[in-house]
Amino acid sequence: MSNTKRTIFACGAGLLAPFLQHMASLTGKKRPRICLLPTAVADSPAFIETWLTRCGGLDIEPHVQKVFISSYDQKISFEESLLSMDGIVVSGGNTLNMMAIWKAQGIDKILRKAWDQGIVLAGGSAGSLCWFEHGTTDSRPIEITTVDCLGFLEASHCPHYDSEPTRRPLYHNYIRSGTFKPGYACDDYAGIVFEGNTVRQVVSLKEECNAYYVYAENGEVKERILEKVVLK
């Protein structure tokens, strides 16, 4: 039986510098190789520039793996690239499109290998949704809907729990109706560290921001605030 830790750090919004530093500590490496996977923002140059700038003040070695590539430019496989990292950060953006591209390119299976090998996986918004079975997404026109994801974490998920007014009631409706499994919601400045499917730690950048376990009991939706550590 393998003793490899399978770690996922899921945040309510993007990985700000303190969250990135915390993710780096989860790798157990002094200067970890951490790769941004910005598929959900279509490999946006502006997003990548912001990522590299943010990493500049941290003790990490930043990398970027684009998926909008050409065979002429990319000379190693996605698998070789991603499995050489200590951590992989998935950007926010359009979850639905990202999932379709990953499946077409086989990246979904590579990420599963990465998790099984102990590479730390992380992200916020689309970058947290992707690790769960399903969740709430703004990936389609007009309104917030549902999206099916990778299912590494056997639960549902709702990011942006405190900042987007429609998310919480919609998530409650899906939990109440049984459309979603019970699951985890995160305020924008909160994140959950999972080892396997077990909550290992909850961290927050603000005292008022939390992560929650959300479930239905006798037809009523309940929220349990998870004990947290506020990062300084």
CA distance 40 to 45: 13
Task: List, by residue number, the catalytic residues.
Answer: 125, 160
Helix ranges restricted to H, 12-120: 17-27, 45-55, 78-82, 95-105, 107-116
**DSSP character for 167?**
H
**DSSP character for 42?**
T
CA distance 33 to 117: 15
Element (H, E) at 119: none
Element (H, E) at 176: helix 167-177
CA distance 19 to 188: 12
Residues 186, 192, 182, 212, CA torsion sign: negative
* 25, β-bridge pairs: none
68: number of Cβ within 10 Å: 10
